[in-house]
């Protein structure tokens, strides 16, 4: 799939609104609610529009944002940290949210714009998934598309499926890490973790 074939947030969505609305009505009825009462009458349509937004990355190729590359005299680490994101757990369809930290070592001075790293996180976040997969997709995309010497991605997130239900531990965070290339070396990993104050 080329970048030209990939739809962005402003283009027609692939979410089937009619099916979502029908499903939401059925769920409301199944829990004993009246989907036609005043407060819920427009809820199915609202949920369908929300799904178009929060799942807008599902049918997009995250590589598209890395097409802009530059040659600079820089072969040291590039780190963008504290990138906020919201995603959805595929097990309960509840949100998880937090911050992503993305680092890479350029090869031969080939870099991408700093905002592209934040955009990459945003696209990958907007789909139902588990945090581990999100971490790996970001790392693999950077490694493959930038041909980086090394890549390291750390994600810290709070999962509502752990805080508002089940074990009910508000404030608990899950940390996942994906390392590629040079950052599979523990000494280099520690360098990044120190920069993130996680070491």
Q: Catalytic positions, please?
A: 89-92, 131, 159, 161
Would the annotation count 92 as a binding residue?
A: yes
| CB contact set of 85 (below 8 Å; sequence gap of 6+) | 97, 98, 99, 100, 121, 122, 125
DSSP letter at 28 equals H
Q: Measure the CA–CA gap between 183 and 199, rounded to whole angstroms.
A: 15
Helix (H, G, I), strand (E, B) or coil at 105: strand
CB 110 within 8 A of CB 104: no
Which of 88, 115, 123, 93 has the alpha carbon at shortest distance from 24? 93
The dihedrals phi and psi of 23, each to the nearest 5 degrees, come to -65, -40
Would the annotation count 101 as a binding residue?
A: no
CB 100 within 8 A of CB 155: yes
Q: Measure the CA–CA gap between 19 and 48, rounded to whole angstroms.
A: 9
Helix (H) or strand (E) holding 116: helix 114-125
Would the annotation count 74 as a binding residue?
A: no
Residues marked as binding for Zn(2+)? Answer: 89, 92, 161
């Amino acid at each position: 799939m080329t970048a030209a074939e990939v739809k962005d947030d402003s283009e027609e969505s692939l979410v089937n609104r009619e099916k979502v609305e029908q499903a939401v009505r059925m769920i409301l009825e199944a829990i004993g609610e009246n989907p036609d009462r005043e407060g819920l009458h427009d809820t199915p349509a609202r949920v369908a529009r929300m799904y178009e937004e929060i799942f807008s990355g599902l049918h997009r190729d995250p590589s598209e944002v890395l097409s802009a590359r530059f040659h600079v005299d820089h072969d040291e680490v590039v780190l963008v940290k504290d990138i906020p994101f919201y995603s959805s757990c595929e097990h309960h369809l509840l949100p998880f949210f937090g911050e992503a930290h993305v680092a890479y070592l350029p090869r031969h001075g080939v870099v991408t714009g700093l905002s592209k790293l934040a955009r990459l996180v945003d696209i990958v976040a907007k789909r139902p998934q588990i945090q581990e997969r999100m971490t790996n997709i970001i790392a693999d995309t950077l490694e493959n598309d930038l041909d980086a010497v090394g890549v390291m991605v750390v994600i810290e997130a709070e999962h509502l499926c752990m805080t508002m239900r089940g074990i009910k531990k508000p404030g608990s965070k899950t940390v996942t890490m994906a390392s590629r290339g040079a950052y599979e070396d523990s000494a280099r990993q520690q360098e990044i973790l120190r920069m993130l104050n996680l070491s």
